[in-house]
Structure formats: C-alpha cells, structure tokens
Amino acid sequence: MSSDLIFHQLFEKESSTYTYLIGDPKTGEAIIIDPVLEMVERDYKLIEELDLKLKYILETHVHADHITGSGELRKKTGAKIAINESYQLSCPDIGLVDGQELKFGNINITAFSTPGHTNGCMTYKIDEMIFTGDVLLIRGCGRTDFQDGSSENLFASVREKLFNLSDNVLVYPAHDYNGLTHSSIGMEKKFNPRLNLSVNKAEFQKIMSELKLANPQKIEIAVPANLQCGLV
C-alpha cells in the first residue's frame, strides 16, 4: 500500500465483504469501493471524521450476496456511482468501459474489464494495488455459475490480464472468508489452488463445474436491489 494514500479496508461480517475507502491526503478527495447497505452509517461517519470529500462510489460488480450501499451513500455525499456499462443500469452516474481512467485528487484509477464471475466484473487499479472484486480472491476466485458467469472468461481475466501485472502488485478482494486481508499477484500465481500457473484452462473449468454451490441466501433480494443501486 502506498503511504501517500489514506487507506481503510472495512469489513462487513455477514457477507464477509471488504469495502475500501481510499483518499488523497493532499486534496481530501476520496473514493469508496463496494460499500454495503448495512454499513453505510459506519462508512459515512469515517468519511466525515477524516474530512474527506467522496467523489466516486465504485462497484466491482452487481453483487448477489449483499445489498450495495451505493445509492444511500450517494444521497449523503453527492458522490457519483460508477459500474461497468455492460450491465446497462439506469441508476449509476457513470458506465465504465475497459481501460477507462478516473481521478480523485492527484490519484489515478484505471478500470479493467475482468469478466468471469459476472460478465460485467471490473478490477480497479490504483498505484500498485488492484481491487479485484470476486474475480480473484485470496487463494480462490468467485463462482461462475450465475449472472452470466463463465469459467472460461474468468480464467482469461486472471491468467491473461491480472497475472500480466507485476508480481509485487497487491491484491485486495471483495471478500475473504478466512481472515486474510490481501495478497499479491506473485503469491496468487504460486499459491492459488485453482489458478496457479500449473493449472490449465480445462482443469480450471473442471474445478469450477464441480463446485455445486448453493445459491447465496440473499440472491433473490440482493440482485434486484443492486440493479437499482440498493435503493429499494
């Protein structure tokens, strides 16, 4: 993590979701990535305490396991909501495309399209950190069996895009279920059981097809709510 940034990794217990509040200390402009509805008051209080001006609310994807806090946070702060334009949602302010750049203060964000967990998943890069949503998790990856997920696309997103970044780039995912906070491209290339460099595409697709996971408990509520920025 760069010492030139205000950086808070925030956690929501029920869905084990990480939210990231990142600010430019020189200008006070800030962004938040993947806020959770139930934690909006906590996040807003922190933004106020740090005297930050929230400029963007970035979603890595339309979540199925929790309701986003993006709409509520926009009401409180006036920040603009950004998500991949491919979802064709009407509530966000900005529809992002692959390679698009945004700026807060003097800090650049690059949005990379990394489909696979959902078709509209994006990874955000700031300095030598990437925020991978559910595409690349610590020693794992998101499921690929709903919301137009595709194990073939996820394999390509990770192996051909993310793993082309330098080994010391830090990986900050949207979830961790084991208490880990971050990883690096170099570590995931070696230690990710599904996606390390010795696993080929056919093997990865077999692993994903055999997971047979139950649907997330909140999917019936969360996805429709998240199509409207959580404003239901």
List of residues contacting Fe ion (CB under 5 A): 63, 134
Nearer to Fe ion, 24 or 134 (CB): 134
Residues 6+ apart with CB under 8 A from 15: 36, 65, 66, 175, 218
Q: For residue 156, count CB atoms less than 10 angstroms from its CB and return exposed for 0-12, middle for 13-18, buried for 19 or more.
A: middle
Residue 118: CB minimum distance to Fe ion, A: 7
Q: In what order do the strands lie in the sheet with 129-133?
A: 101-104, 107-113, 122-126, 129-133, 170-173, 183-184
Nearer to Fe ion, 7 or 146 (CB): 146
The nearest distance, CB 156 to Fe ion, in angstroms, is 18
Closest distance between Fe ion and the C-beta of residue 227, in Å? Answer: 14
Smallest distance, Å, CB 175 to Fe ion? 8
Cβ(216)–Cβ(65) below 8 Å: yes
Nearer to Fe ion, 47 or 222 (CB): 222
Between 156 and 219, name the residue whose CB sits nearer to Fe ion. 219
In angstroms, give the least distance from the CB of 29 to Fe ion.
27
CB-wise, 52 or 135, nearer to Fe ion? 135
Q: At closest approach, how far in Å is the CB of 111 from Fe ion?
A: 17
Q: In whole angstroms, give the CA distance from residue 137 to residue 142.
A: 7
Residue 117 three-state SS: coil
Q: Say which DSSP state 158 is in.
A: I
DSSP letters of 46-60?
HHHHTT-EEEEEE-S
Residue with smaller CB distance to Fe ion, 31 or 222: 222
> Rounded to the nearest 5°, which phi and psi values hold at 68?
-70, 150
Burial status of residue 145 (CB atoms within 10 A of its CB: 0-12, 13-18, 19 or more): middle
Q: Closest residue (Cβ) to Fe ion?
A: 134
Closest separation in Å from C-beta 114 to Fe ion: 12
Here the tokens at position 184 are: 């690096």
Which one, 77 or 192, has the nearer CB to Fe ion? Answer: 192
